[in-house]
Amino acid sequence: MSDGSHSLLPALGAAAVTAAAAPFVRAGLVAIDMLDVPNDRSSHAAPIPRGGGVACALGVATAVAAHPHPAPGRELVGVAALTLVGLADDRRGLPAVARLSAQLAAGALAGSTGAAGIARGAVVVPAAVNVVNFMDGINGISGLTALAWGAHAARVEPDSPSGQAVAGAGLGFLPWNLPRARLFLGDSGSYLLGSLVGTSITRAEPRVAVRLALPLAPYLLDAGVTLARRALAGRDLMAAHREHAYQRLVHDHGWSHVQVAGAHALLVAALGRAARRLPLPAATVVAVGVGGAWAAGPEIVTWARRRRARVNSRSRRPTATS
């Protein structure tokens, strides 16, 4: 996860602390009845404690403290504030306007080096937070994606603790969420990871920011295409649903959570490598193509199955004999 200029200690520390804290966080969540009760749109069948982002936050704090380069204080304040907002939403539910206001404020704080920076942060941070939140719907997808993206970010920006913090927290959380979920990140976790990603992209100079963002193309296009489809159909954009590509691969096509989450993480890792190795225009084309293919994944799987069925049907037809 590093180019060699820094050790892996921050990431390993984040992973160890997250994994060690998770059972205590889980016990506390069960004690206060902070459970995600399944409904007909859920991807789980039994109540699961939500709020695992608290364990990840302890891991992130460990990585930041262990990293030789300190993170800007204003970014840490924004990330911490959004994590608490997510935890409050996990506990009681917050109005959408309150959540969005907090995201905008944290984004503006992260980009507070001028009007352009404030505007960029106010767009990028809420977008990152909500995309991570939308895409956290099956076991392992957020943890594995955090690991893949964090490893990439740590190579692109070795002087920032964000990459190692995200990768370590994702790795430490995985044993509690994959293959069987015993703990969910909840909004506290998606807000934590999303704000770390968003502030990293906001802070970076433009070309670096693009390289940080490119591996997230499958995330972004899956969320964006799904929201566009729902908007065109006149559906409530904030209502729970199972229409994202990753959800449809599980529920409509029978893929396991491990298969879908693993495939998504492999794409993120591959796009990270492309973003580091290829010229930026070429890397952008690759990322858009791969992200688009992921967003169209259920349709591609349907087409492939129908084509295979037609081929098998033709091969079984009796041939005419003379």
Phi and psi dihedrals of 185, rounded to 5? -60, -40
Rg (alpha carbons) of the chain, rounded to whole number: 20
Ramachandran class of 34: left when φ > 0, alpha when ψ lies in -120 to 50, beta otherwise = beta
Query: Which residues partner with 35 through β-bridges?
Result: 49
Residue pLDDT, tens place only, 156-167: 999 999 999 999
pLDDT at 3: 42
Task: Give the integer Cα–Cα distance in Å for 217 and 53.
Answer: 23
Quick check: 186 and 86 in contact, CB under 8 A? yes
DSSP state of 184: B
Residue pLDDT, tens place only, 164-216: 999 999 999 999 999 999 999 999 999 999 999 999 999 999 999 999 999 99
Q: Which of 43, 1, 34 is nearest to 243 (CA)?
A: 43
Residue pLDDT, tens place only, 82-109: 999 999 999 988 999 999 999 999 999 9
For Cα atoms 120, 123, 128, give the angle at the middle one, nearest 5 degrees: 115
Q: Is 3 annotated as a binding residue?
A: no
pTM of the model: 0.91
With tokens 């940080």, the residue in question is 212
The answer to whether residue 112 scores a pLDDT higher than 80 is: no
Instruction: Please report, rounded to a whole number, the percentage of residues in the chain having pLDDT higher than 70.
Output: 94
pLDDT bucket at 313, cuts 50 / 70 / 90: confident
More confident residue, 165 or 44: 165
Give the SS3 label for residue 161. Answer: coil
Give the SS3 label for residue 139. Answer: coil
Q: Which of 53, 88, 41 is nearest to 176 (CA)?
A: 53
Query: Which residues partner with 50 through β-bridges?
Result: 184
Rounded mean pLDDT of the chain?
92
Query: Which string of b and e fits 284-293 if b means at least 16 CB within 10 Å?
Result: bebbeebbee
Nearest 10 degrees: Cα torsion 248, 262, 290, 163? 120
pLDDT at 86: 97
DSSP state of 176: G
Q: Is 133 annotated as a binding residue?
A: yes
Quick check: 161 and 79 in contact, CB under 8 A? no
Task: Give the integer Cα–Cα distance in Å for 56 and 136.
Answer: 15
Task: Give the integer Cα–Cα distance in Å for 301 and 303.
Answer: 5
Q: In this structure, what token pair is assigned to residue 168? A: 């370590």
Quick check: 171 and 11 in contact, CB under 8 A? yes
Q: Which of 58-67, 69-78, 151-160, 258-267 has the lowest mean pLDDT?
A: 69-78
